[in-house]
Amino acid sequence: MANKNRSSPSPTTPKLMETNGFSLMNEDLLRNILSRLPATSFASAATVSKTWNAACCHILSRPKLSSAISLKPLPLVALQEVFDKVMSEPIRPHFAIASVGPGFEIKDVLQFMVEKVGSRTPIIVSSVKGILGRDALSHEFREVKWIDGNIDEVPVNTGIVLTVGFVPGLKVDVIPLLRQRKAPQGSMTDKFVQDIKSYTSSMSGCTSPQAIIMIGDGSVDQKPILEKLDYAMSMETIIVGDERGQFVYRSSDVSRNVSTNKKHSPDAVALVFARDRNKACGIGNIEFHFALSKGVSAIGPRLKAASVRVQDSYTVTWLTARREGQQEILDGQQMLEDIDNEVCQCASVYIRKHELYRNI
């Protein structure tokens, strides 16, 4: 006679999963399966058991950047497309940067990102005059430049490139330079520098961060800000920036999320990377490197253009070329993929320091 008090565990419980086929998998097979999951499913898998959590931590033990571009004419469609792409593989967003065309409302993009990655993830959204990246669906490299005054004429003005980063062993946050409209810029710059140093000290115990990515208001002279910031930081701190027309941001510290109003106006924002003094054992140190150049130097084989075709509807140039001494025709896609493969093999991130480069 069956025992009426005995109950069978649900077939979906993690414990039963481990006592049935999943527990028989070796570590390599488990990691192979988990590494193919999209970010949301990957996050859920990390909570199944200690074994699965350890496997997930092993998969995401190194820095990772995930980026995608979309030129879809509907802003919401383009935004959803790039977000789905960057989150289609295992990643835990430590920060997000979105660069959008004139057809976007940057505040709407910020709200979308906050809803998707959470209010504790630092986010910067800025309007730009051009973008370059790998298409979210076709995986081809795309480049587009918008012409001032033609916003309503060119449908591709809704282009967007989204980058999400995972940097284990570092703490990341957005710190704004908020200028009181009636106050001199100098006094607010001093506070901006002090805010960065205070945040870094609270995270790492030292006052200089590993790196700073700055986005500045295009109508504000950024040179005095950078000079003061560069003077205040150690020589090891990497600083890179860009002047853009408009930007919005979200910091993990609610007190820093001050909207533009009659009293305050953000002249710049800094994405600050500071060492985490409480980082887990086994996580190495991320190093930022930089390279300075007055221009682009030719490296590798020389290429000679074979054909050039301009596609006016998308303001895109299609290029084919051949290497010197060879007859094989290479298209732009092949050339960019070769460059991308070389970059992906690099162990370090190379960033220019002390220069503020305008977006083309």
pLDDT tens by residue, 8-25: 444 444 444 444 455 557
Stated pTM of the model: 0.74
pLDDT in tens, 227-280: 898 899 998 899 988 777 789 999 999 888 876 555 777 889 999 999 998 876
Adjacent-strand bridge partners of 330? 321
Instruction: Decide: helix, strand or coil at residue 165.
Output: strand
What is the token pair recorded at 279? 């980082």
Instruction: List pLDDT tens digits, range 63-117.
Output: 999 999 999 989 999 999 999 999 999 999 999 999 999 889 999 999 999 999 9
How many other β-carbons are positioned within 10 Å of the β-carbon of residue 326? 11
Residues 12-16: contacts with CB under 8 Å, at least 24 apart: 14/48, 14/49
SS3 label, residue 126? strand
CB atoms within 10 A of CB 144: 20
Beta bridge partners of 317: 310
Q: What is the pLDDT of residues 322-338, one digit of tens each?
A: 777 777 887 777 777 76
The residue with tokens 């957005």 is 174
What whole-number distance in Å separates Cα of residue 360 and Cα of residue 182? 32
**Percent of the chain, pLDDT > 90?**
36
And the tokens for 117? 């990655």
Does residue 356 have a pLDDT over 60?
no
Backbone phi, then psi, for 233, in 5-degree steps?
Answer: -95, 160
β-partners of residue 67 are: 163
Compute how many other C-beta atoms are within 10 angstroms of the C-beta atom of residue 333.
16
The H or E element spanning position 198 is: helix 185-204
Contact 282, 202 (CB under 8 A): no
Within 13 Å of residue 185, how many CA atoms lie on the same side as its CB? Answer: 12
**According to the model, what pLDDT value does residue 150 have?**
46
> Do residues 150 and 122 touch, judged by C-beta distance below 8 A?
no
